[in-house]
Amino acid sequence: MQGTPEQRTNRERRIAQKDPLGCVGPGTLQWNFGGYFGSQFGATLWIALLGGLLVTKDVRLGLGILGLFLVANAIGVGLWRRRATLAPHRATQLLCLTSFGAAAGTMYLLHTMGVADLAAPELGDGRPLWVYLAVYPILMAGLWWIDRAGRPKQA
C-alpha cells in the first residue's frame, strides 16, 4: 500500500471498524452499521414524521408521504444487503440520491396538495420549499471530497 505511514495507519484503523461482510473501499468511507443506518434514518425520519402528522388531516397525502419514506428505506436496506459487492462510497452516494428523491417527492406532494406554505412558514408565502433540497447535492459533494481525501496518494 502506498502513502505515508500515518495515512496507512489511519486507513487500517478505518478498515478495522468496518463491517466484516462489506467490501473495502479505497477511501475514507467504509461500511459501518451505525454510520450507514444512522445516515439513512437521519435523512428520512422527517418524512415519516411529516407523513404521520399529515395522515390525521389528509389520509391520502399522509399515506403517500409515508410510502416515500418506506420506499427510500427499502432501497437503503437493499444497498446494505449488497455491501459485499458494492463499494461504500458508491452506496453512500446512492443512499443520498434516494433520500433526495424521497424528499423531492414529499415536497412535490405538499405543493400539489396546496400545503407547502404550511409546511415551511419560515420561508413566507409563495417562496419555494424546494430550496431545502440543496442540502443533498452539497452533502454528496462533501462526501465525495472526504472519501477522496482519505485515499492514499499515488506515486
For residue 102, give the nearest of 132, 60, 122 by alpha carbon: 132
Query: 56-85 pLDDT, tens per residue?
Result: 988 999 999 999 999 999 999 999 999 888
Q: What are phi and psi of 152, to 5 degrees?
A: -60, 145
Cβ-contact 27, 89 below 8 angstroms: yes
pTM beyond 0.85: the answer is no
Helix extents (H) in 32-134: 33-54, 59-81, 88-112, 116-119
Domain boundaries along the sequence of the chain: 31-149
- Assess whether pLDDT exceeds 60 at residue 142: yes
Residue of 5 and 38 predicted with greater confidence: 38
Is the CA virtual torsion 31, 73, 97, 131 positive or negative?
A: negative
